[in-house]
Amino acid sequence: MRLIDRVAHHNRWRRRHPIEKLVLALGMLILDLVLPPYPAGPIIAAIMLAAAIGGAGVPAVAYLRLLLAPVGFVLAGAAAVMVGVAGEPGLGWHFVLLPSGRIIALKLVLRALTAIASLNFLILTTPVENLLPLFRRWRVPGAVVDLIMVTYRFLFVFSDTLEAMRTAQDIRLGYSGWRRTYRSLAMLTAAFLGRVLDRARRLEMGLAARGYRGDLPVLVDEGRPSWPVMGGILALQLATAFLSLHLSR
């Protein structure tokens, strides 16, 4: 998470208009879902990899680490799709490998990894706060956008706090054995909630002292998207769709 934040703020495309990066990433995500996973998957993944590492200068290690982190979940999900049930309900129910299961699972893994590769490009080149003005322009209710902003600002602070609290419990043997683990987790959650609420109250006081009436205006550095770049992205996506359909025939 911290890695994402660091890379998102320090890459060559950080100053590019967020809509360009959003259209590239989400467009490819949609293509990944509608085109046949092979050969579209590898093509899209290669483009996104090239864009992130070659274009934006995202460190290859960071990109690959994020891509491989959810592989366990992807494989577990694919395994569940691969099997079916056989036998009468109640009497000797068992799982069997479906004849078509292996292909479906393979396609699924390809599709999921490609989708993650597209999304990783977006999140590694674009800090979350740069996306918020877009939400506002798309008429997402202001209350929700503000909520997203407040949430994002607190994520990092809170994970530090929680980590410190958990470590404190752990070095006092708070997580040795089941009973203690549950007790510690309950104490941790409750104490953490207390802190969190306290934090909200202090923030509210600080804001109230500065004339807070419910609005949280922030200055955003809003450029304009470059039309040649947008055109290039759409052309690239059309070419990807065309090439994949052509190759799959």
Partner 1 sequence: MHIMEGYLPIEHCVAWTVAAAPFVAAGARSISRRMEENPRVKLLLGVTAAFTFTLSALKLPSVTGSSSHPTGIGLGAVIFGPGAMTVIGLIVLLFQALLLAHGGISTLGANTFSMAIVGPWVSYGIYRLARRAGLSLGPALFFAAALGDLATYVTTSVQLALAFPDPARGVVGAMLKFMGIFAITQVPLAASEGFLTVLVMNQLIAYSRPELRDLGIVTKTETGGIAE
Q: What is d(CA 102, CA 178) in angstroms, rounded to the nearest whole number?
A: 38
Burial of 116 (0-12, 13-18, 19+ CB in 10 A): buried
- What residues from 104 to 143 belong to the interface with partner 1 (CB under 8 A)? 104, 108, 111-116, 119-120, 123, 128, 141-143
Backbone angles phi, psi at 92, to 5 degrees: 60, 45
- Would you give the distance in Å from CA 215 to the centre of its chain? 27
Closest CA to 1 of 137, 128, 130, 144: 128
> To the nearest whole angstrom, how small is the minimum distance from the Cβ of residue 8 to partner 1?
10
Binding mask 53-82 for partner 1 (x = CB under 8 A): -------------x--xx--xx--x--xx-
Q: What is d(CA 166, CA 172) in angstroms, rounded to the nearest whole number?
A: 10
Assess 207 for contact with partner 1 (CB under 8 A): yes
- What residues from 79 to 108 belong to the interface with partner 1 (CB under 8 A)? 80-81, 83-86, 89, 93, 95, 98-100, 104, 108
- What residues from 220 to 249 belong to the interface with partner 1 (CB under 8 A)? none
Considering the complex, state which of residue 226 and residue 248 has its C-beta at the smaller distance from partner 1. 248
> To the nearest whole angstrom, how small is the minimum distance from the Cβ of residue 243 to partner 1?
20
Closest CA to 144 of 153, 155, 134, 136: 136
- What residues from 184 to 203 belong to the interface with partner 1 (CB under 8 A)? 185-194, 196-201, 203
Q: What is d(CA 192, CA 242) in angstroms, rounded to the nearest whole number?
A: 52
Assess 149 for contact with partner 1 (CB under 8 A): yes
Judged by CB under 8 A, which of 50, 155, 164, 235 binds partner 1?
A: 155
